[in-house]
Amino acid sequence: MSGFAAPDEVLPHRPPFLFVDRISRLETGVGATGHWRLTGEEWFFSGHFPGRATLPGVLMCEAIAQVGAYAVLTDPAHAGKLPLFGGIDGARFRRQVVPGDELELVVDLGRMSARAGKGSGRALVDGAVACELDLMFVFVDA
């Protein structure tokens, strides 16, 4: 148990589109670390790819963003807001992620205003980078 609120208590996402199982580090408004264990039973593996199940890269990007949203939404300054993707820059995929892997999702937030923000994130498996990116988001009313 991490001592932090469960992701579904902070994030508006719900299965099958909630990709964060737990949070292990939180610096409200600054950054967070979350985890996603892939069992192989996830809906996308049967079609991506039959015989060689691989986590789609765009879902890694989304999982990183969800951890960033967790760090943002725990800040009272953003109560009643919803951070939406404004852009993804420099996304690089460094290794295949397969059933049985656990992603460690690390996000550090950068410049933030009342209307938007930036951050950088990475997904790691056993300490090896699987994905890294810079993200931008805008706030809308929830």
pTM: 0.96
Mean pLDDT of 51-58: 97
How much is the pLDDT for 28? 94
Question: Mean pLDDT for the chain?
Answer: 96
Show me where the domains of the chain are located: 7-141
How much is the pLDDT for 65? 98
Asked whether residue 15 carries a pLDDT value surpassing 90, the answer given is yes
Q: Report the C-alpha gap between 67 and 88 in whole angstroms.
A: 15
How much is the pLDDT for 26? 98
Handedness of CA 15, 115, 76, 30 (dihedral sign): positive
Percent of the chain with pLDDT over 90: 96
Q: Of 13, 35, 48, 78, which residue is the catalytic one?
A: 48
Is 78 among the residues known to form the active site?
no
Under DSSP, is residue 138 helix (H, G, I), strand (E, B) or coil?
strand
Under DSSP, is residue 51 helix (H, G, I), strand (E, B) or coil?
coil
Q: Which residues contact 21 (CB under 8 A, 6 or more apart)?
A: 7, 34, 35, 36, 37
Architecture of 7-141 per CATH? Answer: Roll (3.10)
